[in-house]
Amino acid sequence: MRKHYLDNIRWITVAIVVLYHVFYMYNAEGIPGVVGKITNMNVQYQDLFQYIVYPWIMPVLFIVSGISSRLYLDRHTAKEFVRSRTAKCLVPTTIGLLAFQFIQGYVNASLSNALVNTREGMQGMPAPVVFLVCAIICIASGQGVLWYIQMLWLFSLALLLIRLIDKDRLWKVCAGTPVWVIVLLAVPVYLAGQIGNTPLIVVYRFGLYFFVFLLGYFVFSHDEVIERMKKYFLLFLIPAIGLGTAFCIIYFGKNYADNPVYRSPLFLAYSYFSCMAIIACAARFGDVANPFTQWMSKRSFGLYIFHYLGISSVGLFLVRPGLVPPVAAYLLSTVAGFAGAYLLYEIISRIPVYRWMVLGMKGKKK
């Protein structure tokens, strides 16, 4: 039977990612590459949303990806797994970068002033040079939002190697993981958060994301483990709320997306317990499906791939020139993030060949 709570975690988290990027685009914490502060407020309290969600939105997606990998491999061969992940993850981050995502590179370059007077300066450049520059900038900025599926592809290949060595021995042992061990797993999560962090493009946190991906595969793919977590969901939810409150109080106003904050014990503890609370509560209360959740779930990948282009374009062409007031900036960016992404998805997913290059989709769209 399909685990609907995983679908619901995925599409709800992606929707939160869209909202996060709206606030991120106009943050007052000095995080580069965006429009930045647009209000006259001494303190932009709306920025608190970023601190509430940033520590856990990507870890929980990697955990769900690890669980989904196990479920897929239970029904498919390793060859089919590689083929599927390559089409869905590698193709959009390579061929798709040249077919579509270079547009995001142009917008990123303009927002970050990577080129002096980018739009004006590019007007005199040959089209191939403009194209190449935009593609390079998109790569240098973590490929926009594509870094997640890029890392997921690498993790999937590493997982197959681990499976060859492990032969399900560790996976079977993890079926008996008690709740108190799940709580103590916060310690290795903290240690994993200290390694594999790239210094320039901070979104690449190989140690943390690979470890929680493996936790999803080995531990949280077991129904027995999920049943225990459902029973003791408050054991995760209450600490998550307390740690989140402390994190926001202590670090509000600081760059939460870079060292030393994202390596701090409080950041990683809040991240881990939030992920556990989300999984436990979703499994207990959110294992449902209806036409709306199914519609959102089927389009969550397209929403993730395309949402940032709409948000950043509104920021570049409407907000930075001062054409709209701050309230309208947030509203228009939100609409552009959701509606723009869904529109692009519906159009591109219907174009033969091109949908494979941008979205990794084969065959006719149903």
pLDDT per residue as tens digits for the range 123-133: 566 767 766 66
Does residue 112 fall inside a structural domain? yes
Does residue 312 fall inside a structural domain? yes
Residue 348, CB half-sphere, CA atoms under 13 Å: how many? 25
The whole-angstrom separation of Cα 279 and Cα 212 is 13
Q: What is the pLDDT at residue 245?
A: 97
Residue-wise pLDDT for 218-258, tens only, equals: 999 999 999 999 999 999 999 999 999 999 999 999 999 88
Cβ-proximal residues to 338 (8 Å cutoff; 6+ apart), any chain: 15, 18, 303, 307, 310
Q: Which residues of the chain have pLDDT under 50?
A: 116-119, 142, 365-366
Does residue 74 fall inside a structural domain? yes
Whole-structure pTM value: 0.92
Does residue 351 fall inside a structural domain? yes
Domains held by the chain: number: 1
Does residue 159 fall inside a structural domain? yes
Q: What is the pLDDT at residue 127?
A: 67
- Angle, CA 101 vertex, CA 97 and CA 103 arms, to 5°: 135
Does residue 366 fall inside a structural domain? no
Q: What is the pLDDT at residue 125?
A: 63
Does residue 365 fall inside a structural domain? no
Q: What is the pLDDT at residue 364?
A: 55
Q: What is the pLDDT at residue 98?
A: 82
Q: What is the pLDDT at residue 17?
A: 97
Does residue 69 fall inside a structural domain? yes
The whole-angstrom separation of Cα 148 and Cα 143 is 9
The whole-angstrom separation of Cα 289 and Cα 295 is 10
Q: What is the pLDDT at residue 118?
A: 45
Residue 227 belongs to domain spanning: 4-359
Q: What is the pLDDT at residue 19?
A: 97
